[in-house]
Amino acid sequence: MKAIVQDKYGSADVLRLGEVDKPVLGDGEVLVRVRAASVTHGDLVTMTGLPYLGRLAFGLRRPRQKVPGRDIAGEVEAVGKSVTRLQPGDEVYAEVAAGGFAEYARVPEESLSPKPANLTFEQAAAVPWAANTALQGLRDRGGMKRGQKVLINGASGGVGTFAVQIAKAFGAQVTGVCSTRNVELVRSIGADHVVDYTREDFAASDRRYDLFFDLAGNRSLSDCRRVLTPDGTLVLSSSKGGPWFGPMGRLVRALMLGPFVRHSLRSFVAKTSGKNLADIKELIESGQVTPAIDRTYSLSEVPEAMRYFSEDHARAKIVITV
């Protein structure tokens, strides 16, 4: 089958279109004919090998998994003998450990969810990692409640565009922070207020928020805490940081500071969850959440897509058609 192959860490130049064997199924696994995939921050980490700490999981000197790609949507091609929920022909979407930038992907049954009926494969592929991260950050770690005032820093990104919509669906009053060129995008997906950070410093404002979901990681903890209500919550989920530990330094500082302040300071790493994808499917099918897509590339153009993504030009999601 055709797939994007990576033999070493580096820039987008290390990615190439090649031929690899079709995955062999285990008992509880599903073979998915991939119709579309999308680019995630995890793909950037496994491509570059940065931060270096991540290589403990992905391979010290070279990637253990030669086919990258995490978010997919497609059709069930075959199922393992212990699979009970799915059958060939079912339309599904999922976040996978690796192997999404290919014609076929092997996925554990529990990671899969039926594709939202009102989405194309391209739209559905934009959902899993980003929407799951947004849902876990706001609902599970942030404890978001109806009527709360929520600030989302990085509202125009892949996770941010879902976070704005999910927060609105849960009845929150949402303020999104983004650059000038993305103001209309963030407003169009439902934000009640939009802060253009090139013209306004949210940390200098007198507005206060019950929950601050920080996806940008570009402000100090004191700046973030300054805009919280006295018992407000700060949730950190940033990909920014140095080449060795990435965002871990900032997350550790928050953990150490937490016991000494009234605010709740929380960080998390989103976990793959087929159940969460089912919850997100309901939000999508009810019309409360819609994927926002920046650009679409073909499978052979994945290196170009990753180059665009790595240069921080992207807003919302980048989709790969297979």
Smallest CA-to-CA distance from 158 within 239, 100, 233 is with 239
Alpha helices in the chain (DSSP H): 41-48, 55-58, 121-125, 128-135, 158-169, 183-188, 221-226, 248-257, 274-285, 302-310
Please tell me which residue, 155 or 244, carries the higher pLDDT value: 155
Q: Where in the chain are the domains? A: 2-127+291-321, 130-267
Is 60 exceeded by the pLDDT of residue 227?
Answer: yes
205 close to 225: Cβ distance less than 8 angstroms? no
List C-alpha distances in Å: 251 to 103, 221, 255, 256.
37, 10, 6, 9
Is 80 exceeded by the pLDDT of residue 310?
Answer: yes
Is 90 exceeded by the pLDDT of residue 29?
Answer: yes
**How sure is the predictor about 259, in pLDDT bands with cuts at 50, 70 and 90?**
low
305: DSSP letter? H
Please tell me which residue, 170 or 239, carries the higher pLDDT value: 170
Q: Please tell me the predicted confidence (pLDDT) of residue 315.
A: 86
- CATH assignment, 2-127+291-321: 3.90.180.10
Range 130-267 has CATH code 2.30.38.10? no
Token pair recorded at residue 113? 């969810």
Arithmetic mean of pLDDT, 51-56: 79
Give the Cα separation of 96 and 137 in Å (integer).
19
Topology alike, domains 2-127+291-321 and 130-267 = no
Among the ranges given (55-59, 62-66, 301-305), the one the predictor scored with the smallest mean pLDDT: 55-59
* DSSP string of 129-184, one letter each residue: HHHHHHHIIIIIIT---TT-EEEEETTTSHHHHHHHHHHHHTT-EEEEEE-GGGHH
Among the ranges given (171-180, 243-252, 266-275), the one the predictor scored with the smallest mean pLDDT: 243-252
Arithmetic mean of pLDDT, 285-302: 97
Arithmetic mean of pLDDT, 130-142: 96
pLDDT tens-place string over residues 77-110 = 999 999 999 999 999 999 998 899 999 999 999 9
Q: What are phi and psi of 181, to 5 degrees?
A: -70, -15
Give the Cα separation of 227 and 53 in Å (integer).
32
Contacts of residue 185, defined as CB under 8 A and 6 or more positions apart, other chains included, come to: 156, 161, 178, 292, 315, 316
301: DSSP letter? G
Is 50 exceeded by the pLDDT of residue 245?
Answer: no
The rounded Cα 134 to chain-centroid distance in angstroms is 7
Smallest CA-to-CA distance from 310 within 5, 50, 35 is with 50
The mean of the pLDDT values for the chain is 92
pLDDT tens-place string over residues 207-218 = 999 999 999 988
